Each structure stands twice: as structure tokens, then as C-alpha cells.
Structure 1
Amino acid sequence: MLLGSLLAQYEEELIAVGEEAESLSFAYRALKNWTFTDFVLALQKEVEVEDQALLLSIFEQLKHHVPAQYIIGSADFFGHIFAVDERVLIPRPETVELVALILEENDEKALRLLDIGTGSGAIAISLALARPTWQVQASDVSEEALALAQENAKQLEAVLEFKSSDVLDELEGPYDLIVSNPPYISRDDVEEVGANVLASEPHLALFADRDGYAIYEKIAQQAPSVLTPDGKIYLEIGYKQGAKVKELFQEAFPDKRVRVLKDQFGQDRMVVVDNGSH
């Protein structure tokens, strides 16, 4: 069978179970290490037996809601390739906006930064690579996630420190910048989560108690004792959480400015606590 015909057959079945059809060709191209041109040229060719087996394996995993990034073992984030598997969340495009904002608002001056709930290390490593003058620390409550983050740091030759901690329990500071993309999905909003996310990505990194606000509440409670006077906090939030998270941090930092910023799709996505310099 021609590659194009076999792909079309599998893609139709993936759509029927609620998966994105393009995930199949994306994963196949990545595992074959093909350029897009290689792929287009192969569409009108007969599929070799071993490639039929590879396509079937990818299809079966996608059909059972395994994300394409887990199948290929990596994800692109901020121009770097990060290893990902079931130990960590797959880095999202909206988190790229958070990293870009931090870099835009903070220059090369030596700063001490903490990334809470680092997961794959995508935020902390990207910032450490972009700002080698910064002293970057990354923490997570999951030892498995920390192990993968350390592998990514080594692979990308990033210099930073990793710590095991539940939010700030095991950390002393002081910090000039605190950043976090914590678990923020309420267990009542499980129907909003995609099937492949729910089936494969770690629930510890997805869901939070107290309607999704538990980690924000803990950061707001603990951060005042470790943030420097000119320090800033950058948080990724769920699109419905802007007002509540702003209220939490305005109460914790009454003398600071608290901003709710939107992502490229016009949804509330970031909360920033600072002294109003931008």
C-alpha cells in the first residue's frame, strides 16, 4: 500500500476516537528522522514492511491516547529539544510566552531565580541558557521529574541547581525572581482535559486541590519570606483563574503591583507580581 493511503486510513480512525490526525505523520516523520520534503516524496511510494510495523505501533499508541511527544520521546520548547516521558508534562506553547515575558522584563544583571514545579525543566533550563549571569534553581516535589530535568540540563549544557521541595518547604532563598507553572486544574474541570492528557500525563502535575488554587495559595503564603524587596513573581494560570490568583497575591503583597496578562489567544494566562517598573 502507498504511504499516503495507509496514513489516510489510520488518520480517519484516529479522528473517530477524538485524536488529531496530524499526530501520526508528525511522530512518523520524527522517528524516521525525515525532513518534510522526504515525507512528501515518500507519500506516493509503497510502504516497506518494517515501516508498516512502525506506523501500526504509532497508530496503536495514539489510538490509546498516548501523546505524540511521548512516542518520539521529546518536545520542542523555546528553540531547545527536551526529553519528555510519562514522568513530566509536555511543555505547552503558552508557557513559551511566560519565558519570553520574563526575559523581556529582566536584563542580564545577575539575579537569583527559582522555578517551582519544574517538571521537564523547560522553563528553568531555557532561562538559564538565555541568561547565563543568573543563578537559577529549579524544584519539584516529584523525584522522577527532577531526574529527567537533570538529564535535560546535562544534554543542553545548562548550569543550574535542582532541589526536591514541596513549593518552598525545603528552600531558603532569597530570590529575585520566582516563576511557576504549577498544577492548576480543578478536579471538577476534568472534562476540559484532553483524553491523551488525562490518559498519559502525570496527574500530580495537572490537578490541584481547593478548586485548582492550592499551589497558588501555598506560594502566596510562603513567598513573602524569601522574595527580595525588588523581587518579582511570574505565574502561569488557568484561563478562569486570573481574578482569584490576583486577589491571593495582592493580599500577600499589598505594596506590590499584581497584573493579569493574556496569552496570544486572548485568554488570561499569566499573573505577575512586581514593583511596577514595567
Structure 2
Amino acid sequence: MLWIELTRKLSENLKEPFELEFVWRQQHELSKLDWLNLMREEISEEDETTLKAIADRLAKDEPPQYIIGWEDFAGLRFKVDERVLIPRPETEELVQMILEENPHQEALSVLDIGTGSGAIAISLAKACPSWKLTASDLSESALELAGENAKANQVQLELVCSDVLDDIAGSFDLIISNPPYISPDDRDEVDASVQKFEPDSALYAENDGYAIYEKIAQQAPQHLDEAGRLYMEIGYKQGERLKAIFETAFPEKEVSVIKDSFGKDRMLKVC
């Protein structure tokens, strides 16, 4: 059987027909031209077995990033698996905004709450070597993976196991967080692959998705320097309520809701 025949047959059962191509190309470091040339060849029994196994995993909604074992984010590569949320493009916009608005050469102290794979903290540390990054998470296994990613990307992080700021000492110039913000009642709105494979603790929060934000609002004023800034990713329906919450927590600061490239409320800034 030719590669193209088997690939077409297996892709018919997938929600995203190009996922099979994506996984195989990434695993074998093939260019698009390499893949097109491969399609004209006879497939070996070994490759047929492997390709069918990948297609089976994809058909069961396993994310391609977990199958290949990594995701690119902000120009860097991060190992990902079921211990952590897969970094999203909208979070890259948060990182970009932080880098645009803060001096790279100053020795800023920065805290990333709920670091997961370490994508935010590591990206900032890579771009700004003079910044001192602390990355916290409630999950020990997530922190273990963040440590692996920091080493792979050759940056230094202080890793702290903490429920929000419960076990965080000191104050910071920047506090950043992309916390869980989906209401458990909205679980059915989440893609099947996310529901089945990505960690619930990184997705869902009590009190209609506001619980972690409320805890940050309660604790952050004691840990943010007087001239410090707070940056967070938010759900697209949460901007108005979160603006009110953080205006109460930081009455002397300006609270802004920022839209993403699709025009949706996606980030909140306190400065």
C-alpha cells in the first residue's frame, strides 16, 4: 500500500485531517516536500503499524502535542505531557505585552503564579536574563516538568510549590498569572481533547471560574512592590467583573482589560 492511500484512509476518522501528517512530520523532522515525496512510496509494515497507532491515539482525542511530546511557544520549545496544560497562542500575547512594557536590562523580580510547563516564566527569563524569575505551582509534578524545561532552555528559575501566594515570601516588581478560569459548569463547552487529557486543576476554578483570581486579589497587594505591575490572562467573558475585583484590591492603581488579536477580552493589567 502507498503512504498516501493509508494516510487518506486513516485521516477520514479524524476531526482534524492534517493532524496525522503533523505528528509524523514532527516526529521525523520532515519538511512538507519530504512528506509529499513520502506519499508516493510503499509503506513498510513497521511504519504502517506505527502510523495506525498514532491515528488511533488522535481518534481518541489525544492532543498532537502530547503525542510528539512538545509545543513551541514564544520561539522556544517546551516539553509537555498530561502533567501540564499545553501552552496557547493567546498566552504568547501576554508574554509579548509584558516584554514590550517593561525594561529588559533592569534586575526585576518576577513571580509567575501557576507556571505549569514554565512557558511564561522561561520565555521571560530567556528574553531578559537580568530578571529574577520565581515560578510557583500547586502541582509538584508540574514544577518538575517546568524544571526540565528551564534546564533545556538554559535559564534559571526558582521553583516554589504554593497554592497561589500561600507559601511565597517577599515582594515582586511583576506578578504574572495564567490561572485556571473555566467554570466547572462550562465543562461541556471545552474541546473533548482538553476534557480527556489536560489536567483539570489547570483548567477549572470554583465560583464560576473566579476563585483563583479572587485569591490573587486578596494576597497580591502584600507581595507587589509599590510601583509593581500585575498581569493576568483572563476568560473572554470575565473582564468587567475582574476589573471591579482588582480595582477594589488595588485602589491606588489603574486596572485595564486588554483585548487579544481577535478582539476578545483576554488580559488584565494592574499598574
- Residue aligned with 1:75, SS: strand
Does residue 118 in structure 1 map to residue 89 in structure 2?
no
Among 144, 148, 152, the alignment partner of 1:147 is 144
Structure 1 Cα separation of the partners of residues 52 and 197 of structure 2: 19
Does residue 58 in structure 1 map to residue 54 in structure 2?
yes
Does residue 68 in structure 1 map to residue 64 in structure 2?
yes
Residue 87 of structure 1, CA deviation: 0.2
Residue 13 of structure 1 corresponds to 13
**Greater Cα offset, 68-77 or 37-46:** 37-46
Residue 104 of structure 1 corresponds to 100
Residue 5 of structure 1, CA deviation: 2.0
Identity %: 55
AA aligned opposite 1:13 = N
Does residue 95 in structure 1 map to residue 126 in structure 2?
no
Residue 165 of structure 1, CA deviation: 0.3
Structure 2 Cα separation of the partners of residues 182 and 204 of structure 1: 9
Give TM-score scaled by structure 1 length.
0.95
Question: CA-atom RMSD, angstroms?
Answer: 0.8
Q: Deviations over 1:134-153 (max 9, x none)?
A: 01000000000000000010
Does residue 253 in structure 1 map to residue 250 in structure 2?
yes
Residue 77 of structure 1, CA deviation: 0.5
AA aligned opposite 2:149 = N
Does residue 133 in structure 1 map to residue 130 in structure 2?
yes
Residue 173 of structure 1, CA deviation: 2.1
Among 232, 235, 238, the alignment partner of 1:238 is 235
Structure 2 Cα separation of the partners of residues 241 and 101 of structure 1: 19
AA aligned opposite 2:8 = A
Does residue 24 in structure 1 map to residue 20 in structure 2?
yes
Give TM-score scaled by structure 2 length.
0.98
Q: Deviations over 1:244-272 (max 9, x none)?
A: 11111111001111111111111110000
Among 192, 196, 213, the alignment partner of 2:189 is 192
Residue 80 of structure 2 corresponds to 84
Q: How does 1:218-237 map to 2 (within 5 A)?
A: 218-237=215-234
Structure 2 Cα separation of the partners of residues 36 and 9 of structure 1: 20
Residue 35 of structure 1, CA deviation: 1.7
Unaligned runs of 5+ in 1: none
AA aligned opposite 2:69 = G
**Greater Cα offset, 192-201 or 46-55:** 46-55
Q: Deviations over 1:97-137 (max 9, x none)?
A: 00000000001211100000000000000000100010100
Runs of 4+ in 1 over 4 A off after TM superposition: none
- Residue aligned with 1:123, SS: helix
Structure 2 Cα separation of the partners of residues 185 and 239 of structure 1: 10
Structure 1 Cα separation of the partners of residues 203 and 179 of structure 2: 8
Structure 2 Cα separation of the partners of residues 192 and 41 of structure 1: 40
Unaligned runs of 5+ in 2: none
